[in-house]
Amino acid sequence: MREWIMDFRSLAMYRIMDLVERAASSSAPVIITGESGTGKELVAQIIHKLSPRSAGPYVPLNCAAIPETLIESELFGHERGAFTGADHSRDGCFKRASGGTLHLDEFIEMRPDMQAKLLRVLEEHKVRPLGGSREVAVDVRVLAATNRPLKHAIREGLLREDLFYRLSVFVLELPPLRERIEDLPMLVAQFIQEANREQRRQVEGVSAECLEAFKAHRWPGNVRELRNVVDHAVIVSKRRTISLDDLPPQLRAPNDQIQYVTVPVGSSLDDVERELIGRTIDLAAGNKTRAAQMLGLGVRTLYRRLERYAGSKIPGGRIGASIARRNGSRV
């Protein structure tokens, strides 16, 4: 495990994994943030495996998947007869994770009153099961994960500020896959190995053309999407090397649609940006929402850039026409 996490090539993930190792050596709580599919569950597992608690239990709980009426029982347990249907006593996640690690995924989805009860347990290291009269001591490290921006969640009243400060001894923000393309070859190789074991196949790698298609994709589903794509390709491939034909339709593009921007040395940044924006909108068939996603921009930001270049020559007839229409001018 320790050797594998250092195989990342991107500086962003190298820094994250360095912080993961530092956090793992303690029993301090950790908040793990990032878009859906960036690997928050994997990071939580790594922290547990590298920690002094690795011999203890690792208990994951998806807070968003538990009904509001049952979340307190799921966390703290309940006594027999505590509520209708409670025909026997049951330990909660805190007690089951005692001596180990409790991973609370999507913890912000808990109601504020439940967050207050969680805060009390974190501070006092004791839980009281529903319907119980005695508190039970627990020794648990909490790893909390969410795909929501923390500051926005606090501002919108979804996350109690005091709970945030109690949990945020370490905050690990996982970058999306599109911001660490350098890690793609390593991840693809890893997922091919895993898919080979699961599907009893002998795929050895991907073609250079296929890897370029991977690098050009925006990966809205991040590492989870990449793994599903690789699984699909390993299953359908009839060769030892995955080709473009083995990929789902959204990743396949004819060779004549793969475009490149050649930038002469000495070009101004404005010239480079203007050329790239124009070519990308052409590639997106004039769909500016799609082009903005490909460029990593908001749609409004893209329109502002287009307005700025409205008087300049931008590649692609559709581009000049769309700018003119937006300005109310004739083409």
Q: Is 327 a residue whose pLDDT tops 70?
A: no
What is the average per-residue pLDDT within 196-205? 94
Residue whose pair of structure tokens reads 């921009």 in the numeric block:
297
The predicted pLDDT at position 256 comes to 42
| Digit-coded pLDDT (tens) for 1-38 | 444 455 778 888 889 989 999 999 999 999 999 999 99
| Digit-coded pLDDT (tens) for 154-168 | 999 999 999 999 999
What is the average per-residue pLDDT within 73-88? 74
Asked if residues 127 and 76 have their Cβ atoms less than 8 Å apart, the reply is yes
4, amino acid identity: W
What is the Rg, in whole angstroms, of the alpha carbon atoms belonging to the chain?
Answer: 25
10, amino acid identity: S
Distance CA 127, CA 143 (A): 17
Query: By percentage, how much of the chain surpasses pLDDT 70?
Result: 85
The predicted pLDDT at position 20 comes to 93
Query: Which carries the bigger pLDDT value, residue 100 or residue 298?
Result: 100
Query: By percentage, how much of the chain surpasses pLDDT 90?
Result: 55
The predicted pLDDT at position 290 comes to 72
Asked if residues 31 and 171 have their Cβ atoms less than 8 Å apart, the reply is yes
Nearest Cα residue to 310 out of 301, 321, 294, 295: 321
Give φ, ψ of 5 to 5 degrees: -70, -15
Asked if residues 212 and 171 have their Cβ atoms less than 8 Å apart, the reply is no
The predicted pLDDT at position 315 comes to 46
Distance CA 317, CA 168 (A): 51
The predicted pLDDT at position 323 comes to 41
Nearest Cα residue to 214 out of 197, 237, 189: 189
Nearest Cα residue to 279 out of 312, 306, 314: 314
Asked if residues 290 and 299 have their Cβ atoms less than 8 Å apart, the reply is no
Q: Where are the alpha helices (DSSP H) in 25-69?
A: 40-50
The predicted pLDDT at position 82 comes to 61
78 falls in which pLDDT band (50, 70, 90)? confident
Q: Which two tokens stand for residue 132?
A: 């119980």
Helix (H) or strand (E) holding 141: strand 141-146
Q: Is 191 a residue whose pLDDT tops 70?
A: yes
267, amino acid identity: S
314 falls in which pLDDT band (50, 70, 90)? very low
Averaged pLDDT of the chain: 84
The predicted pLDDT at position 108 comes to 95
CA 280 to chain centre: 25
83 falls in which pLDDT band (50, 70, 90)? low
The predicted pLDDT at position 324 comes to 40
Query: Which carries the bigger pLDDT value, residue 146 or residue 327?
Result: 146
Total length of the chain: 331
Helix (H) or strand (E) holding 319: helix 317-327
Q: Is 96 a residue whose pLDDT tops 90?
A: yes
Distance CA 286, CA 292 (A): 11
The predicted pLDDT at position 312 comes to 56
The predicted pLDDT at position 114 comes to 95
298 falls in which pLDDT band (50, 70, 90)? confident
Strand partners, 242: 206
Q: Which two tokens stand for residue 65?
A: 């998947």
Nearest Cα residue to 174 out of 40, 24, 1, 28: 40
Structural domains in the chain, sorted by start? 2-175 (3.40.50.300), 179-257 (1.10.8.60), 269-327 (1.10.10)
Q: Is 44 a residue whose pLDDT tops 80?
A: yes
The predicted pLDDT at position 115 comes to 96
Nearest Cα residue to 218 out of 299, 290, 302: 290
DSSP type of residue 32: E
Query: Which carries the bigger pLDDT value, residue 202 or residue 299?
Result: 202
Query: Lowest mean pLDDT: which of 122-136, 151-165, 227-241?
Result: 122-136
CB atoms within 10 A of CB 9: 14
Asked if residues 198 and 153 have their Cβ atoms less than 8 Å apart, the reply is no
118, amino acid identity: L
